[in-house]
């Protein structure tokens, strides 16, 4: 039996770990997120320190957080839809939810990348503004720290090296995020 060399596409897919179908969306999301972060940081860092303590800056910081919250709800919808679909007692809803779950699965990674960029801008703006070590800011810092392993474990998930760490770390982040956002 002769040895067959893998093609360049197969080799690149194995090295990067991201399937070809999703790669263009992931790269597009990375480029968009880099542009959003660069423009946001540029506008934040070109303000005077007096402006960092103004109402308009607080509005900007909260706006980044609100947009990140909307994106994260979409990202978390993927898991909620999969959970509901797996329940047998909701068979009537399954036919309606399967296309929604496929849509949520397709956009889970690109929207999550954009949400991480918005969270970074929100965190930078919060640290530069009137930062006090209170419950709200502490839960935000804990949520930010718990977010760090989520994209790394997501890459491991693409390579099939993950043993539910992406789900577990994502769940820990989601709980801290919800506490930060709503309490």
pLDDT digits (tens, 9 = 90+) for 11-49: 554 555 777 888 888 899 999 999 999 999 999 888 888
pLDDT band of residue 115 (cuts 50, 70, 90) is very high
Q: d(Cα 128, Cα 51) in Å, to the nearest integer?
A: 10
Q: Are residues 59 and 121 in the same domain?
A: yes
What is the rounded distance in angstroms from the CA atom of residue 181 to the CA atom of residue 183?
A: 6
The parent domain of residue 109 ranges over 20-37+52-131
142 and 65 in one domain? no
In a domain, 182, yes or no: yes
pTM of the predicted structure, to 2 decimals: 0.82
Strands (DSSP E) found in the chain: none
Q: Are residues 105 and 165 in the same domain?
A: no
Total domains present in the chain = 2
Same domain, 74 and 148: no
pLDDT in tens, 58-109: 888 889 999 999 999 999 998 888 888 887 777 777 788 888 889 998 899 9
């Amino acid at each position: 039996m002769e040895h067959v060399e893998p093609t360049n596409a197969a080799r690149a897919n194995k090295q990067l770990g991201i399937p070809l179908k999703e790669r263009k969306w992931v790269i597009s999301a990375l480029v968009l997120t880099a542009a959003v972060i660069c423009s946001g940081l540029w506008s934040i860092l070109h303000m005077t320190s007096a402006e960092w303590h103004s109402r308009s800056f607080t509005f900007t910081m909260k706006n980044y957080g609100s947009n990140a919250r909307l994106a994260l709800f979409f990202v978390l919808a993927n898991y909620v839809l999969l959970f509901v679909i797996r329940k047998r007692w909701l068979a009537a809803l399954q036919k309606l939810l399967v296309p929604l779950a496929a849509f949520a699965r397709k956009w889970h990674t690109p929207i999550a990348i954009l949400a991480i960029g918005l969270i970074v801008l929100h965190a930078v703006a919060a640290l530069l503004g009137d930062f006090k070590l209170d419950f709200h800011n502490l839960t935000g810092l804990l949520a930010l720290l718990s977010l760090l392993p989520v994209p790394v474990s997501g890459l491991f998930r693409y390579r099939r090296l993950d043993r539910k760490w992406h789900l577990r770390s994502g769940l820990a982040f989601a709980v801290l995020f919800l506490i930060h956002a709503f309490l």
